[in-house]
């Protein structure tokens, strides 16, 4: 990798319920933590281990990168920083500026 950023997943979502002012009490960090859970890896099912699920997750992300013309080793992906990028619309909804990103 050359230090650039590549969008891997932008097709996931979830819903949440809470108080009427949920947007006022929801932080960027909470949304980012939930986003990381939603994108995976999933919990192991019958006959699978957590290691199996993680290996499959990173392999699927490596495949996304290959479709974008980027060759990446699935094992190396887990060691790279993973930013959660929230849309301007969502940031505005929770009262934050577009440059209020979250990194890990």
pLDDT tens across 60-100, in order? 999 999 999 999 999 898 888 888 888 888 888 888 766 55
- The answer to whether 5 and 75 are in contact (CB under 8 A) is no
**Global confidence as pTM:** 0.74
Distance CA 41, CA 63 (A): 15
Contacts of residue 40, defined as CB under 8 A and 6 or more positions apart, other chains included, come to 53, 57
Q: Is the pLDDT of residue 101 over 60?
A: no
Top-confidence residue, 57 or 97: 57
């Amino acid at each position: 990798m050359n230090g650039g950023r590549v969008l891997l997943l932008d097709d996931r979502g979830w819903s949440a319920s809470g108080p009427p002012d949920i947007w006022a009490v929801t932080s960027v960090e909470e949304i980012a933590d939930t986003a990381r859970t939603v994108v995976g890896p999933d919990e192991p099912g019958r006959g699978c281990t957590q290691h199996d699920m993680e290996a499959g997750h990173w392999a699927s992300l490596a495949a996304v990168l290959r479709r974008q013309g980027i060759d990446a080793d699935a094992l190396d992906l887990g060691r790279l920083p993973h930013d959660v990028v929230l849309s301007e619309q969502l940031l505005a909804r929770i009262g934050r500026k577009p440059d209020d990103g979250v990194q890990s």
